[in-house]
Amino acid sequence: MKNIVLTRIDDRLLHGQVIVSWIPFLNIDEIIIVDNEYAGDDFMSSLIKEASPDHLNVNVLTIEETKEFLESGDNKSRVLILSRYIENIAKLIQLDIKINKVNIGGLGFHNGRKKFVNAIHLSDSEIDLLKNISANGIEVEVQMLPKDKIIKI
C-alpha cells in the first residue's frame, strides 16, 4: 500500500497553502484528489493537474479508484490525499484504507454549516462524521499551515 503522509479535507483542494507550505514541509511526491464529481469531469481534472507543481504526480480519482490506486502501489512515494468532503474520507476508512490522521483545512460556509473555528465551518452531520472517525482511533485536527497550532477535534 502507498504511504499516506497526510489526509486533508479542504474545499479549496490544491491551492496556495497546500502547494507552498504542506507539500514541501511533508516532502510529498504524489497527490490524490478524492472526488467522484471531479474524477468524471475532464475539464476540472485537467485544471487541477495543470495547477500543480511539475514534480508531483497528481491523480483525480473516485473513492473506489482511490482505494484501488492506494492498494496497488508500494510505500516508496509520499502521498497527500485531498478531498472537499468529509464523507469521502469516511468512505475510504469504511473501505479499510489505513488513515492515521485527518487534517481539516478550509471549509466554507454553506449548506447548514456553522462556524467551528477560524475558516472551518461544519454542519451537525459533518461533526458527527468527524466524531465517528475519531472514535475509530484516527486523529482529527484543524491546522491550516504546518507552523500553526494544532487544534484537536
What was the pLDDT predicted at 55?
A: 87
Whole-structure pTM value: 0.91
Q: Within the chain, where are the H helices? A: 16-17, 23-26, 36-39, 42-50, 63-72, 86-94, 124-135
11-33 pLDDT tens trace:
888 887 888 899 999 999 999 99
Number of structural domains, the chain? Answer: 1
**CB–CB of 2/66 below 8 Å?**
no
- Of 3, 7, 5, 2, nearest in space to 93 by CA: 7
For residue 110, give the CATH number of its domain: 3.40.35.10
Residues of the chain with pLDDT under 50: none
**pLDDT in the model for residue 89:** 97
Host domain of residue 128 = 3-152
Nearest to 84 by CA among 108, 100, 101: 108
